[in-house]
């Protein structure tokens, strides 16, 4: 592979992939079906789309930390039941959980991934991947949240010493090691455990 960057940008390669898909010369590359949505997920997407407003995750975070400390430090669900839990706690948790699930379910668009790969290619004076190779990059990276991809790319830019793009597997390792990806995984587990505990507590107190 040449050490000089190709003349086409990621956006140009992506456009070529789209055109090939439309003409039928490259089937099943673009236009994968959207995952099934729930009312809670749709409502979460609407909240996240509003500029200048705090997300449900941000609003619930102080209470989440308080509930989680109680859950972990004492006797789990039993201590929450003893303290008394409220339907507002469960409602806010469900909204925050739905927002996190939306971020995880929706992943990152091909356009956003293209910008990230294009930046790495430019920084390393590396060739832009071919349309076929780029398609594989998209399939591999689409499930990951955009911020995790950006953090992974930032780490690659900091440590990668060669005039080429990292191998996809190496990049995924950086993404999954990023603080934001690990934090989201921990947050997801926390929501699931607290939700069960809160539902049990509300049932017990009724």
Q: Which two tokens stand for residue 167?
A: 């191998």
Q: What is the chain's mean pLDDT, rounded?
A: 79
Give the pLDDT confidence of 104-162 residue by residue, as tens digits: 888 889 999 999 999 999 999 998 888 889 899 999 999 999 999 999 999 999 999 89
* pLDDT score recorded for residue 94: 92
Give the pLDDT confidence of 34-73 residue by residue, as tens digits: 444 688 888 898 888 888 888 999 999 998 988 888 777 6
The Cα–Cα gap between 124 and 119 comes to 9
The Cα–Cα gap between 136 and 140 comes to 6
The string over 84-122, giving b where at least 16 C-beta atoms fall within 10 Å of a residue's C-beta and e elsewhere, is ebeeebbebbbbbbbbbbbbbbbbbebeebbbbbbebbe
pLDDT (mean) for 160-173? 91
Domain boundaries, the chain: 57-206
Residues contacting residue 160 through CB under 8 Å, at least 6 positions apart: 124, 166
* pLDDT score recorded for residue 193: 83
The Cα–Cα gap between 41 and 123 comes to 37
* pLDDT score recorded for residue 120: 93
């Amino acid at each position: 592979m040449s050490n000089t960057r190709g003349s086409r940008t990621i956006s140009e390669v992506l456009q070529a992939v789209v055109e090939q898909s439309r003409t039928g010369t490259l089937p099943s590359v673009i236009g994968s079906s959207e995952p099934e949505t729930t009312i809670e997920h749709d409502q979460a997407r609407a909240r996240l789309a509003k500029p200048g407003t705090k997300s449900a995750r941000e609003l619930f975070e102080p209470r989440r930390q308080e509930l989680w400390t109680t859950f972990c430090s004492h006797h789990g669900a039993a201590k929450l039941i003893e303290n008394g839990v409220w339907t507002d706690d469960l409602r806010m948790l469900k909204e925050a959980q739905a927002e996190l699930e939306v971020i995880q379910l929706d992943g990152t668009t091909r356009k956003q991934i293209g910008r990230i790969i294009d930046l790495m290619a430019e920084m390393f004076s590396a060739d832009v991947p071919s349309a076929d190779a780029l398609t594989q990059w998209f399939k591999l990276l689409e499930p990951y949240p955009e911020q995790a991809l950006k953090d992974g790319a930032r780490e690659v830019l900091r440590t990668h010493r060669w005039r080429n793009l990292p191998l996809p597997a190496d990049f995924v390792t950086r993404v999954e090691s990023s603080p934001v990806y690990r934090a989201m995984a921990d947050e997801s587990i926390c929501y699931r455990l607290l939700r069960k505990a809160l539902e049990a507590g509300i049932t017990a107190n009724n």
